[in-house]
Amino acid sequence: MLPSQCLCTNLRRAARGVSRHYDGALDGFGINVAQYSLLCNLQRLDQPSISELAEAMGLDRSTLGRNLRVLEGEGLVALTEGEDMRNRIVKLTDTGAQRLAAALPAWEAAQQRLIDRLGAEKRETLLRLLDELA
């Protein structure tokens, strides 16, 4: 890799490496890191609207919509009409919750491997720095 002082280049390179790490951990569960994150956020928010979920994840509605269609096609999420016809509610299906629960130990193991690699102090520093940039 070519060295660079560009923060954007280095953050994107690191993000791709970390994504590959977690995607490897999720092999065999039929979901990737982006889908796992979406399912986790959906579980935490408990039937949010598409707008609420998009805001919580920092995604635009069209990107989220494309991701949701894939998960809906696999039976992991369901979209229903909200109180307002313009707003749809996203629900985690039983199949989605089971897939998430099955993948959790692999996710946690991947998380621990990165923590072990960084050490607790660097992890906390990294989280603070990323929070500042978000």
Share of the chain above pLDDT 70, in %: 97
The whole-number average pLDDT for the span 34-49 is 95
Q: Say how far apart CA 26 and CA 36 lie, in whole Å.
A: 9
pLDDT higher than 80, residue 2 = no
Residue type, 39: L
Answer for the pair 88, 47: CB distance below 8 angstroms, yes or no: no
Which pLDDT score, from 0 to 100, does residue 87 have?
Answer: 79
Question: Residue 88 has which token pair?
Answer: 């749809």
Residues 6+ apart with CB under 8 A from 74: 30, 95
Q: What is the mean pLDDT of residues 97-121?
A: 96
The H or E element containing residue 21 is helix 7-26
Q: Angle 125-128-133 (CA atoms, 0-180°, nearest 5)?
A: 125
Whether 86 has a pLDDT exceeding 80, the answer reads no
The pLDDT value given to residue 40? 96
Q: What is the mean pLDDT of residues 82-93?
A: 84
Residue 66: burial class (beta carbons within 10 Å; 0-12, 13-18, 19+): exposed
Q: Does 92 have pLDDT greater than 80?
A: yes
Amino acid at 22: Y
* pTM, full prediction: 0.87
SS (H, E, C) 71-119: HHHCCCEEEEECCCCCCEEEEECHHHHHHHHHHHHHHHHHHHHHHHHHC
Task: Please give the pLDDT value at position 85.
Answer: 64
Q: Between 36 and 2, where is the model more confident?
A: 36
Query: 83 pLDDT exceeds 90?
Result: no
